[in-house]
Amino acid sequence: MAPTPDLLYSDTERTLATALADLLSSRAPAADILARTEKPDTYDLDLWHTVAAEIGIAGLLIPEPLGGAGASYRELASAAERFGAAVAPIPYLGSAAVATAALLSAATNATGPSVSPAAALLRRLADGEVTAVLAVPPTALPGAPFLAGVRVAGTSAAGETKLSGAIPAVADALPADVLLVAAEGVPNALYLVEGTAPGLHRTPVPSLDMTRQLCDVSLDGVPARQVAVGTAADAAVDAGLTAGAAVLAAEQLGLAQRCLDMTVAYVKERHQFARPVGSFQALKHRLADLWTAITLARAASRYAAACLADGDPDAPVAVAVAKSACGDAAVSAAEECVQLHGGIGFTWEHPAHLYLKRAKASSVLFGTPAAHREVLAGLVNLPAPA
């Protein structure tokens, strides 16, 4: 029987989280994020460069021989909690988690990782100068069938494959320098597309969460290089989606904790009938229920990150539990944050709506809580209701 993983935060994780919290408090205050959501370009790429290159978030999962930090999903999940707490408008999820995990899988399954296209791109990602994204629809679920919406349309004069098709509402694709595009076929394959390639078009779409804006991706004979094929391509896409769901669960946990902290602080200060409203029993019960949900979600998130870090075969179960628990906790915490702040919580000037929008949008990304519970039922052989 495998030993139970340690779910406590390590010294390294706490140090990283503290550094990020200090940076985000000065570089991404709520007022600045609110103002940015009203601009056409909502991503803060200067902040992303600092986080990716100077702090090293871009290369956390990348092995040291490829120029990365050689850390694990535990450290990345700890960082994701800070990004969720600040609703940071940076593409760390699409690049440092999803695309990196897909490339790591593709490089591992390649005949020569040191010279494979996946390994070469990982070297470019490690220093934070290049941002990548796995171009998949927002509801793509780990373990789901390979449905890309893109096909091979021919071969260019230079011998590169040409791709055509469309992928709707891709998160973190707008600022990406490189796109990983899955193409259906016999066999399926995963391709690398440069962001400046002719025939590639990215169209911003109205997004509930403007701190993680979506865009439609269309390809019209776009030149591409093959990264993985067949079962290796399927495994790479699934690895990316699994990592995305786990890291997003950690982000949702950080968001939920911040919403609870904000709300508790407010109800201690807000007075009615000469008493702090937080002293009213009805509000105490609601906050206690929320604290319980967040505590349970934290255990699920920490376990999922530990399973991915250790290569534990229980990882699919752990990720499904984490994404379900953290998604529900984040939405509940954000709703309570708006409600218990009273009138000010419903205003545009207060950041509560940023948290609610991020929580609702994230609950759909990489599978809804209900979808993950359905997957979980199959993984643990739970029979359907009669």
Q: Which amino acid is at 350?
A: H
* Residue 239 shares a structural domain with residue 355: yes
For the record, the structure tokens of 176 come out as 């990406």
* Residue 125 shares a structural domain with residue 15: yes
Place of tokens 């600045």: 32
Q: Is the model more confident about 143 or about 306?
A: 306
Q: Is residue 1 part of a domain?
A: no
Q: How many CA atoms lie within 13 A of 184 on its CB side?
A: 10
**φ and ψ at residue 186, rounded to 5 degrees:** -125, 95
Dmax (CA) of the chain: 78
Whether residue 145 is predicted with pLDDT greater than 80 in this model: the reply is no
Which pLDDT score is estimated for 153? 81
Closest among 11, 21, 42, 5 to 254, alpha carbons compared: 21
C-alpha distances out from residue 91 to 83, 125, 196, 293, Å: 10, 13, 18, 28
Q: How much is the average pLDDT of 157-164?
A: 82
Q: How much is the average pLDDT of 159-166?
A: 89
DSSP 184: B
* Residue 117 shares a structural domain with residue 148: no
Between 99-113, 122-136, 190-204, 249-263, the lowest mean confidence (pLDDT) is in 99-113
* Residue 352 shares a structural domain with residue 267: yes
Distance of CA 120 to the CA centre of its chain: 23
Whether residue 335 is predicted with pLDDT greater than 80 in this model: the reply is yes
**Cα three-residue angle 249-251-252, rounded to 5 degrees:** 65
Q: Is residue 226 part of a domain?
A: yes
Q: Is residue 208 part of a domain?
A: yes
Which pLDDT score is estimated for 38? 85
Q: Which amino acid is at 30?
A: A
Whether residue 113 is predicted with pLDDT greater than 60 in this model: the reply is no
Domain final residue, candidates 131, 161, 183: 131
Whether residue 275 is predicted with pLDDT greater than 90 in this model: the reply is no
* Residue 112 shares a structural domain with residue 18: yes
Which pLDDT score is estimated for 156? 66
Which pLDDT score is estimated for 5? 84
**Cα three-residue angle 59-217-326, rounded to 5 degrees:** 55
* Residue 105 shares a structural domain with residue 241: no
Number of domains in the chain: 3
Q: Are 98 and 76 in contact (CB under 8 A)?
A: no
Domain final residue, candidates 177, 204, 230: 230
Between 3-12, 71-80, 112-121, 149-158, the lowest mean confidence (pLDDT) is in 112-121
Q: Is the model more confident about 140 or about 271?
A: 140
Which pLDDT score is estimated for 114? 45
Q: Return all residues near 97 (Cβ < 8 A) that are at least 6 apart.
A: 61, 76, 80, 243, 244, 247, 248
Which pLDDT score is estimated for 235? 95
Residue 4 and residue 215: Cα distance in Å, rounded?
Answer: 41
* Residue 257 shares a structural domain with residue 306: yes
Q: Is residue 386 part of a domain?
A: no
For the chain, report the end-to-end CA distance as a whole number of angstroms: 34
Give 44-101 pLDDT, tens digit per residue.
999 999 999 999 999 999 999 999 999 999 999 999 999 999 999 999 999 999 999 9
Determine the structural domain holding residue 294 and report its residue range: 235-379
Q: Which CATH number belongs to the domain containing residue 262 in this structure? A: 1.20.140.10
* H or E segment and range at residue 198: none
Q: How much is the average pLDDT of 173-193?
A: 93
Q: Which CATH number belongs to the domain containing residue 61 in this structure? A: 1.10.540.10
The pLDDT mean for the chain works out to 92
Domain final residue, candidates 195, 230, 265: 230
For the record, the structure tokens of 12 come out as 């390294």
Q: Is residue 349 part of a domain?
A: yes
Whether residue 286 is predicted with pLDDT greater than 60 in this model: the reply is yes
Q: Are strands 189-194 and 178-183 parallel, antiparallel or unpaired?
A: antiparallel
Closest among 169, 85, 87, 103 to 135, alpha carbons compared: 169
Q: Which CATH number belongs to the domain containing residue 190 in this structure? A: 2.40.110.10
Q: Is residue 98 part of a domain?
A: yes
Whether residue 111 is predicted with pLDDT greater than 60 in this model: the reply is no
For the record, the structure tokens of 39 come out as 């601009």
pLDDT-derived band of residue 112, with 50, 70 and 90 as boundaries?
very low
Give 232-264 pLDDT, tens digit per residue.
999 999 999 999 999 999 999 999 999 999 999
Which pLDDT score is estimated for 101? 98
* Residue 353 shares a structural domain with residue 285: yes
Q: Are strands 178-183 and 161-171 parallel, antiparallel or unpaired?
A: unpaired
**Cα three-residue angle 151-245-287, rounded to 5 degrees:** 145
Residue 143 and residue 126: Cα distance in Å, rounded?
Answer: 27
Q: Give the alpha-carbon dihedral of 117, 120, 44, 204, to 10 degrees.
A: -10
Q: Are 303 and 7 in contact (CB under 8 A)?
A: yes
Q: Is residue 384 part of a domain?
A: no
- DSSP 3-state of 97: helix
* Residue 147 shares a structural domain with residue 250: no
Which pLDDT score is estimated for 311? 94
Whether residue 384 is predicted with pLDDT greater than 90 in this model: the reply is no
- DSSP 3-state of 222: strand
- DSSP 3-state of 328: helix
Q: Is residue 4 part of a domain?
A: no
Q: What is the pTM of this model?
A: 0.95
Whether residue 337 is predicted with pLDDT greater than 60 in this model: the reply is yes
Whether residue 375 is predicted with pLDDT greater than 60 in this model: the reply is yes
* Residue 138 shares a structural domain with residue 160: yes
* Residue 108 shares a structural domain with residue 121: yes
* Residue 371 shares a structural domain with residue 286: yes
